[in-house]
Amino acid sequence: MRGHACGKVILVGEHAVVYGVSALAVGIDRGATAHASLLPEGPSRLRVPEWAVTVTTDDEERDLGRALRAVLETTERALDIEADAELPPGGGLGCSAALGVAIARAIGEVTGGGTTEAEVLRRAMAWERVFHGNPSGIDAAVAASGGALLFCRGEPSKPVPLRVSLHLAIGHSGLASSTKTMVDRVALRRSLEPQLVDSLFANMGRLTQEAAAALVEGDLPRLGGVLGQAQELLVALGVSSPEVDRLCSVAREAGELGAKLTGAGGGGCVVALASSEGHATAMVRAWEQAGFDGFTTRVSRRPEESA
């Protein structure tokens, strides 16, 4: 049985979302898939051929083994799961959440244990906590739903209708980003400078609402301007890096509508809003000439939005 999930890009609201501020994220067309089948006996195992990794639920020494145990916690049957992700680990694109959601869906299909959104998200969050400690839940929510979502911790996600599909260029800094490490760093900064950090978070919340309005209106230049302002706030928060700054600079020279880091920061990826698929491709080429890897992706309107 097969499960699929989207990768994600946070347009506005990184880190602030951990403290109850709304964030805006979109699902991208790159993601993860998982296939599950029953085994005659345990332990259950997970294979990720692209990473040359195999773990079982008895493997307590590796995060992936503990995550497999967590996502299978209420599953009585032994399973053989093979998963694949089109996303770079530690890139800020929701790789682990996409894998968790895809695996949860495959588990529910093969065991009859349920593929409702609530059950899939419950399993996926158990998986995510192994890697990230205290995840906000935004990655798993977007991985499961696709489209655009306004997310506020502890509240139901709110779909944001897209007037137009989005063309994005994603550039990788070459450095993996640890969500847990960066969240801990921001928490320390907030304990030392609470007024400054809370002010930055409040401005991120304002920009989140403005970005959502721009999506509804299909106003790409306005959305791009918001992304640029969000990057300035993230730099002030201390979660950017020289590589991320360089990616944003190269994208700016290539005519981006707006560019910023996406995810926890300290490395990972940059998202740049393009005016067309060709424009996104041109930005990726500019990054490659500067020594970075990248790819283009698309955020599509949901079928009900196209009706």
Residues designated as active site: 139
Is the previous residue joined to 242 through a cis bond, with omega within 30 degrees of 0?
no
C-alpha atoms less than 13 angstroms from C-alpha of 239 in its C-beta half-sphere: 36
Whether 256 contacts 272, CB under 8 Å:
yes
Q: Is 231 helix (H, G, I), strand (E, B) or coil?
A: helix
Whether 126 contacts 87, CB under 8 Å:
no
* Residues 167, 201: Cα–Cα separation, whole Å: 27
From residue 188, how far is each of 47, 102, 180, 202, 219 by CA, in Å? 37, 33, 12, 18, 37
Whether 173 contacts 268, CB under 8 Å:
yes
DSSP-derived secondary structure for 208-230: HHHHHHHHHHT-HHHHHHHHHHH
Whether 171 contacts 9, CB under 8 Å:
no
CB within 8 Å of 290: residues ≥ 6 apart: 246, 247, 250
